Structure 1
């Protein structure tokens, strides 16, 4: 347990809407080890980003329920009030790389100051000292220090994303949440960013939560893969095991829809549409789309239980040895 940097237990995040309460994150649990990357994958709207924002506590005003245990280095940060969490945890111990770098950066403030600002706020550094430190992190992410005095619009998309990564790393956090950090970039720039993240992980022994809908991309960075469906984690497996032999029927369908370069396979698709998070299905939430569902799947919700190979799977068929 000493190697666990972040532990999440029974985390809930519900939103109030005009149509009802959206169960965006519904009883989610997992552990993150130091120096490890967990990739969270799933269809759009399954709750990936809501889970990330719940961990760093960047919440909208319409929260109906926010409950559970989030332990960071053994301390339950859910017991902290907002001010204490802001001072001690957010951006100091857990930082966030947002999906759109253009929106994450202030267009009228120079890039260097935006990278240095967390050091001035959280570490109490003076402006000159913080800017000198910002230069180091610009070099770390592969940007020349002269770009310290440029505005975001003067940088390319890839360079802006690198600047946002520098901003997330500058306080030397324990955990960095990567919310689809390459989704708006071309393929070559995506590869460069992923290689950068791998290098930084090795050099700084940092832990990542990597959120993406791009399953092939996770294979470059992930140590473990968590599959989310309808606000819940339905499978959590070692990456090597997951890519070869996913256990949950949803995971199987997800992997079957991914084209490969070295094998000739018939691509599949997942029938139906994702369920409403306001009124999710009874029992297993995937049962309306699952080709293997039977009566128990409809009536009883399966537990997220461990298999003989160490994977955690939320499926009656797996637990009963029928798959």
Structure 2
């Protein structure tokens, strides 16, 4: 009998979310970001579900791109982190991987490579995030070097990344967009600015190429309501089951470190899920789960394979009852906030031992 912890992935909801993204840019194209195992949802299954819809896919590194190719995904794949040596450039050219170039070293590795066919290049510009990318004043120089190379296909995409796009009242985002647009003035090239937050909330960031990621999986990048983000449909439901129920007296504690003590006679349910399944260890007492449609609070430390919740106020909870850790009525964002992190981390840390069930 299998352990009951599973992640159900709704591929129709995924497709709905992609259509929402694409609908925001009717004159542009969307590249579906499937890095980090499609934010924990399963890169191959997600890419296959979006293969007829997405113009291309985005990954962090060549190993993630190879996984898609080996699974029969033939759409272009953008290596968003670039390449790390000339051998990767050759491998990318042979497999129709697009290359994001972030500095002179990466540019030289493309120009100097012995290629049998040219590659598609994206040029990353640092418009204020100061993580990766060439300087705003260097765009024309780099662009001309790439144009002059026989190793580079004619259509060079110029891209940047927003640092504060998820902050709807940010003035920094407007500043970034203006600085980026000024840096490419006079250059006739397709542009890319938008990640999920840019696509949803910053119309001026919607360009020829857009890079939705987090939103595809049904999660809002914003802390509050947003008219378009609120149309997203959740994709993953992480669930398990009650494996034990016990009564404890006033003054008795639960779990490692005894960091929760009963102040009343209490009924405790043990659930077969823990940080070994991607449930955040730092989730604090009171973090909600859903049992039989009702919320119940986490009590005691999260352990590797189990959590405990207080079901004193719920009726008729029994061994075998389903428990939802996050899903339609309890978002990964909410659980992440209770753990002092963000939904992106909670989802991408989902380990392979949790079976994904696709529908």
The TM-score normalised by the length of structure 2 is 0.30
- Give the structure with the larger helix fraction: 1
